[in-house]
Amino acid sequence: MLATARRADALNTLAHSTSGLIRPMSADVTDEAGARRAVQAAIDWTGRLDVLVNNAGVTSVQPAQDEPPELFRRVIDVNLHGLYNYCHHAGRAMIARGSGVIINVASINGLVASWTIPEAGYCASKGAVISLTRELAAQWASSGVRVNALVPGYFRTEMTEDLFSSEAGQRRLRRMPMGRGGDANELEGPLVFLASDASSYMTGQTLVVDGGWTAV
C-alpha cells in the first residue's frame, strides 16, 4: 500500500508502525504532477492499482464575512482540486485495466451546515466532493470503476482536537443521537466495505457514519 501526505515525518511513523506494509511518499495533493507520479509509483510497486482513498483535507474556521477569499480558495484547492487530481490519474489507470475502486472521504458538513462552527470553504468543498463522486461514478461505471463517498461525522483527528478536548465541544457531541463522537476503528468497517466486493453493486453512493447527526 502506498500512502502519500505532505508531512514526511508522519508518513515515516505510519510506515514503521506497519512493518513495511505501507510505503510512504511525500506529496502535495494540489500538485497535479505529483499526483500523477504517486499513482504511477503505486502501480510500479504492486503492478496494479485496485483502490484509491482520497482523505486529504484542510479547513478554515471563521465567519464567512471574515474569511479572506484567498483562504477560501486554498481550502477548495486542497479538498476538491487535490482530490480531483488523484481521481483523474487513478481513474485513467483503472479504466485502462477495467476495474478499480475510488473512495472519496467527504464530511457530514457536505450534507448539512456546520452550524455553530463556521467553515464556509470546508462545507462548500465537501458538498462538491459528494457531487463529484456521483458524476465520476456515472461516467466510469461502464468501465468497471466504482466511485463512492465515505462521509464521517465527528471523529477525533488533529483537525477536531479542540472539539473533543473542550467542554463546549463535548456538549456538541452529546447532542447527537448516540451521544458521543466516533472512535477511529468505527470507520474501518465502512471503508473496507466500500473497498471490497461486498459493495460490488454500489457506485455513486454516500455512506454516512455519523452517530445519527444528520438523521435529526
Contact 91, 136 (CB under 8 A): yes
For the CA atoms of 2, 128, 153, 88, the dihedral, rounded to the nearest 10 degrees, stands at -10
For the question of residue 122 being annotated catalytic, the response is yes
Residues 6+ apart with CB under 8 A from 159: 57, 58, 59
Residues 6+ apart with CB under 8 A from 113: 123
Distance separating alpha carbons of residues 33 and 59, to the nearest angstrom: 24
Spatial CA neighbour of 170 closest among 159, 191, 156, 185: 156
Q: Which of 84, 86, 122, 154 is catalytic?
A: 122
Spatial CA neighbour of 95 closest among 149, 137, 133, 55: 137
Catalytic residues: 122
